[in-house]
Amino acid sequence: MNRVVPPRPEDVGYIAPRGRDYFRIAWWMVKAARYSPRVWVASSVGSLTVASVAALTVGLGLQASVWAVLASAIVGAAAYFALLAVVVAVATPIYLAITFGRRPLHHAYMDPKRVAVLELIERPDEGAWQIRNHVAAKTKKRYGERLRALAIPGALDAAGRSGTKIYGKAQNAAVMKVYVKHLGPFGFHDDGKGNIVWP
């Protein structure tokens, strides 16, 4: 199929993220993870596993007291979360700087005040664009709403003229409710298959 390119950020009143913005975006993504229980389950399981291994190793190796075993468990858990912090603070921003909106078919739209961002990905084989990584600094300040107010209508106009579909994938029912609430006013709807789609 012929490639249909989404509008440029500057065409809809927005900007592309710069280097320091990826640290912000990484933190926003971490906060947004509360909508995905699987993320927290995985973190909890990982933490308990590391703590248990540390406790068993120290306890058996030193024939330590119960207090020593508990202490080793705490140290193990702390080490696990410290590793997560490093990933969030260093590895994730570097990954985003390389990939977020920078690959040929990826387009990033950021609010001029740098408080919200979304990524629109071209899917030529589907004749569609996918909305992904829509996050904001704060959820109750309507930052995301203001971003959508300009970015989405511009994308819909271009998509409508070219017959391109736009969709987003919901990880679970809670995320779908958020999508329907925020994107429903623009004509998006739940297709019953875990996608929010337009038209």
Q: What are phi and psi of 64, to 5 degrees?
A: -80, 170
Superfamily of domain 105-198: Gcn5-related N-acetyltransferase (GNAT) (3.40.630.30)
What CA–CA distance (Å, rounded) separates 44 from 34? 13
From-to residues of CATH 3.40.630.30 in the chain? 105-198
Stated pTM of the model: 0.68
pLDDT digits 0-9 by tens, 1-24: 567 788 888 888 888 888 788 888
The 3-state DSSP class for residue 77 equals: helix
pLDDT digits 0-9 by tens, 94-132: 666 666 666 778 888 998 899 999 888 999 888 899 998
Element (H, E) at 106: strand 106-110
Query: Angle formed by the axes of helices 92-99 and 21-32, to 10°?
Result: 110
Maximum Cα interatomic distance, the chain, rounded to a whole number of Å: 73
What CA–CA distance (Å, rounded) separates 191 from 199? 10
